[in-house]
Amino acid sequence: MNNQRTGWILLFPALLLLFLIFLYPITRAFGLSLFTENLGTQLQPVFSGLANYQRMLGDGRFWQSMSNTAIFTIVSVALELVLGLSIALVLNQSFFGRGIVRTIAIIPWALPTSIMGLAWAWIFNDRFGVANDILQRLGLIETGINWLGEPGLAMVAIIIADVWKTTPFISIILLAGLQSISRDLYEAHKIDGAKPWQSFSQITLPLLMPQIMISLLFRFAQAFGIFDLVQVMTGGGPAGSTETVSIYIYSTVMRYLDFGYGAALVVATFMILITTVALVAWLFNRTKWA
Amino acid sequence: MILEQTPDKSRKISWSYILLGISIVTIILFTLAPILWQVLTSVKTNEDISAIPNVYLPHKITLQHYLELFERRPFWLYIFNSALVSIVSTILCLLLGSPAAYALARMKLRGETIILVLIAVVTLFPYALLFLGVLEIIKNLGLGNNYLALIIPYTAINMPLTILVMRSFFRQLPQDLEDAAKIDGYKTISMLTAIILPMTLPALVTTGILTFIFAWNEYIFALTFITEETMKTVPVATAQLGGASLFDIPYGAIAAATILGTIPLVILVLIFQRRIVQGLTAGAVKG
């Protein structure tokens, strides 16, 4: 009994902080989303029921930001998983200087996303950018491409920057998984006459599944909420073509001072995120026990 | 038969070596090229920066862009702000998170599963969904343009990781030790500070490095809660380095700022690579 009380005392400060910074804002958004609170109401909350959600259904900008976010998330996470797994497989081999290569491979993950976003914006600069210069020297293009000024290309540039920045995270997690797989398994499999490709698909992939799922889950949530990279590289442009939901929420609140509608956007994004995560976790658990 | 097989096998091995070599070089290039390009840009003269076609190796190395950051802008203040906020929030996080982690690792609390699930779930919340509510808290507490407006959220966003990593560490400690301490008459709290704490130092360092990195890199809260120029952190200040007009973007200064803002982290990675990997995997996989 006494032990229980001490335990809760030890937990309390941490839980209070988690409540304040994570749970309160989400709960508050649910409440605020039922009010109109913007410049039209002189920033006073006026109860308006589901009006904000009704507005969202017909808000083309919201749907575009959702589809931009979905495209960004699916493409970048898929690329990061494939690249991250390949890099982990390479770093799991034994070779001279492996320690230093492993160290180098982590660096992008540790750097500030916003700052490296600026570095990538510079690389993709339309006039002085090195991306255009290399492509021109290789004879692949004749004149410089306006990477960040063309709708489809701006998304490509952001995805490349994100892949550079976060692939190391997946490599780290998957490499740890690879290291925990016993060498004996491969030896035995080889004696049974298995080809390297068969070892990969029959031993490596199944045993790596937990790590793959966890890194996918983390990356999915982070990519879905992407803000820093887009904000510094394009600000959501050109013509809203890279505007993700986070960027839209931010400008709804901070630029248009539309707090009620911003809260409704938070709720919608939150629900989509949590439902997807729950669905994936449930599917994974089901296949694991089957 | 044997004669045929031997050259075939050695060729196969050398091919896989070549493939491995190419992959390793590609990984290093892909990783370092963007950083290297920033380093080069930061020491080039403005003429070299805006040369078409691009000048790869600077004709003349200049530190002008770095000097500009300190002479024309309070860049040392930005570094100080980032360091202060990151270090204080890291200390607070370890101070509040470790006892919580211990309670969750050892004390068999009722409802501990629910709390662990909750902690794991909140790590998935994007900060863009939180800033609106946190902004309100900060306004109500009158903390706008106060370091606490960053220190409190940073402590909170690093709390789940701290708890998960420290908990996985505490669970690896031999239980006998604590049982012996209990028999010797230690109360839980005094046992924690006298016996457990000295043993947790390595785990605290591991966790602290991660929380420091996350705090140093945070952007959206720093952008929203601090508007006072002299209180900005490096990421926000760097992103806001603008010229007088759209056509007057100080690319050299931005490059210099990105180098200054990333150097502390590169050093951390070079020194603590192993710990970072340990911490990340403990936090993500075991948690």
**Tokens coding A40:** 């039209």
Which residues in chain B have their CB less than 8 angstroms from residue A122's CB?
37-38, 41, 251, 254-255
For residue A121, name the pLDDT band (cuts at 50, 70, 90). very high
Q: Residue A255 corresponds to which amino acid?
A: R
Selected for mutation to probe chain A from B273, B276, B278, B286 (highest A CB count within 10 Å) is B273
Contact across the interface for A118 and B258, Cβ inside 8 Å: yes
Residue A234 lies in a domain: yes
Selected for mutation to probe chain A from B9, B16, B18, B27 (highest A CB count within 10 Å) is B27
Selected for mutation to probe chain B from A1, A5, A8, A22 (highest B CB count within 10 Å) is A22
Task: Assess whether B176 and B117 both reside in one domain.
Answer: yes
B25: domain range? Answer: 2-42
pLDDT tens, position by position, A153-195? 999 999 999 999 999 999 999 999 999 888 888 888 888 888 8
| First-to-final CA distance of chain A | 40
Say which residues have a Cβ less than 8 Å from residue B264's Cβ, sequence separation at least 6: B83, B216
Q: Give me the pLDDT at residue A186, please.
A: 86
Q: Cβ of B269 under 8 Å from any chain A Cβ? A: yes
The CATH number assigned to the domain holding B196 equals 1.10.3720.10
Axis crossing angle, helix B64-71 with helix B251-281, rounded to the nearest 10: 90
Task: Assess whether B148 and B269 both reside in one domain.
Answer: yes
A247: domain range? Answer: 35-289
Say which residues have a Cβ less than 8 Å from residue B57's Cβ, sequence separation at least 6: B40
Residue B59 lies in a domain: no
* pLDDT at B12 exceeding the cut of 90: no
Task: Assess whether B14 and B84 both reside in one domain.
Answer: no
Residue B54 lies in a domain: no
The number of domains in chain A is: 1
* pLDDT at A1 exceeding the cut of 70: no
Q: Residue B245 corresponds to which amino acid?
A: S
Q: How far apart are CA B252 and CA B68, in angstroms?
A: 10
Percentage of chain A surpassing pLDDT 90? 68
Which residues in chain A have their CB less than 8 angstroms from residue B49's CB?
128
**Higher-pLDDT residue of A200, B24:** B24
Residue B48 lies in a domain: no
Residue B65 lies in a domain: no
Q: How many CB atoms lie within 10 A of CB B116?
A: 16
**Higher-pLDDT residue of B174, A34:** A34
Q: How far apart are CA B31 and CA A167, in angstroms?
A: 10
* pLDDT at A151 exceeding the cut of 50: yes
Task: Assess whether B18 and B85 both reside in one domain.
Answer: no
pLDDT tens, position by position, B39-91? 999 998 888 888 777 888 888 888 999 998 998 889 999 999 999 999 999 99
Residue B243 lies in a domain: yes
Instruction: Give the closest of A95, A104, A110 to B265, CB-based.
Output: A110
Q: How far apart are CA A178 and CA A174, in angstroms?
A: 6
Average pLDDT of span B171-197 = 80
Q: Give me the pLDDT at residue B9, please.
A: 54
**Higher-pLDDT residue of B248, A119:** A119
pLDDT tens, position by position, B243-287? 555 556 788 999 999 999 999 999 999 999 988 988 888 877 644
Q: Cβ of A285 under 8 Å from any chain B Cβ? A: no
Task: Work out whether the CA dihedral A119, A124, A129, A134 comes out positive or negative.
Answer: positive
Q: How many CB atoms lie within 10 A of CB B10?
A: 10
The number of domains in chain B is: 2
In whole numbers, what is the pLDDT of chain B averaged over residues? 87
In whole numbers, what is the pLDDT of chain A averaged over residues? 91
Average pLDDT of span B226-232 = 92
Task: Assess whether B29 and B104 both reside in one domain.
Answer: no
Q: How far apart are CA B227 and CA B210, in angstroms?
A: 26
Task: Assess whether B240 and B174 both reside in one domain.
Answer: yes
Residue A241 lies in a domain: yes
**Of the candidates B102, B204, B94, B203, the residue with the CA atom closest to the CA atom of residue B154:** B94
User: Among residues 207-246 of chain A, which lie with CB inside 8 Å of chain B?
Assistant: 210-211, 214-215, 217-218, 221-222, 224-228, 231-232, 245-246
SS3 B237: helix
Instruction: Give the closest of A7, A24, A247 to B133, CB-based.
Output: A24
Q: Rounded to the nearest 5 degrees, what angle is found at the Cα of A122, between the Cα atoms of A116 and A124?
A: 105
* pLDDT at B4 exceeding the cut of 70: no
Q: Give me the pLDDT at residue B211, please.
A: 95
Residue A207 lies in a domain: yes
**Of the candidates A139, A140, A144, the residue with the CA atom closest to the CA atom of residue A127:** A144
Residue A6 lies in a domain: no
SS3 B144: coil
User: Among residues 98-137 of chain A, which lie with CB inside 8 Å of chain B?
Assistant: 99, 101-108, 110-120, 122-123, 125, 127-128, 130, 133, 136-137
Residue B50 lies in a domain: no
Average pLDDT of span A197-210 = 88
Residue A203 lies in a domain: yes
Task: Work out whether the CA dihedral B4, B10, B11, B12 comes out positive or negative.
Answer: positive
Task: Assess whether B184 and B126 both reside in one domain.
Answer: yes
Q: Cβ of A17 under 8 Å from any chain B Cβ? A: yes
Q: How far apart are CA A10 and CA A31, in angstroms?
A: 31
Task: Assess whether B275 and B201 both reside in one domain.
Answer: yes
Residue B64 lies in a domain: no
For residue A289, name the pLDDT band (cuts at 50, 70, 90). low
DSSP letter, residue B129 = G
Task: Assess whether B149 and B231 both reside in one domain.
Answer: yes
For residue B5, name the pLDDT band (cuts at 50, 70, 90). very low
Q: How far apart are CA B105 and CA B249, in angstroms?
A: 52
Residue B30 lies in a domain: yes
Task: Assess whether B190 and B235 both reside in one domain.
Answer: yes
- What are all long-range contacts of B266-272, with beta carbons under 8 Å and residues at least 24 apart? B266/A107, B266/A110, B266/A111, B268/A110, B268/B209, B268/B212, B268/B213, B269/A103, B269/A106, B269/A107, B269/A110, B270/A103, B272/B205, B272/B206, B272/B209
Contact across the interface for A21 and B130, Cβ inside 8 Å: yes
For residue A274, name the pLDDT band (cuts at 50, 70, 90). very high
* pLDDT at B3 exceeding the cut of 60: no
Task: Assess whether B183 and B282 both reside in one domain.
Answer: yes
The CATH number assigned to the domain holding A191 equals 1.10.3720.10
For residue A127, name the pLDDT band (cuts at 50, 70, 90). confident
* pLDDT at A9 exceeding the cut of 70: yes
Highest averaged pLDDT of the listed ranges A82-86, B18-22, B178-182? A82-86
Q: How far apart are CA B132 and CA B134, in angstroms?
A: 6
Selected for mutation to probe chain A from B219, B247, B248 (highest A CB count within 10 Å) is B219
Q: Give me the pLDDT at residue B59, please.
A: 83
Which residues in chain B have their CB less than 8 angstroms from residue A117's CB?
239
Q: Residue A136 corresponds to which amino acid?
A: Q
Q: Residue B260 corresponds to which amino acid?
A: L
Q: How far apart are CA B137 and CA B131, in angstroms?
A: 10
Instruction: For residue A93, give the chain B residue with the closest CA.
Output: B20
Say which residues have a Cβ less than 8 Å from residue B99's Cβ, sequence separation at least 6: A10, A11, A13, A14, B192
**Tokens coding A66:** 């959702």
Strands (DSSP E) found in chain B: none
* pLDDT at B192 exceeding the cut of 90: no
Q: Give me the pLDDT at residue A223, please.
A: 95
User: Among residues 45-104 of chain B, which lie with CB inside 8 Å of chain A?
Assistant: 49-54, 96-97, 99-100, 102-104
Task: Assess whether B281 and B188 both reside in one domain.
Answer: yes
* pLDDT at B6 exceeding the cut of 70: no
Residue A84 lies in a domain: yes
Q: How far apart are CA B55 and CA A150, in angstroms?
A: 25
Residue A109 lies in a domain: yes
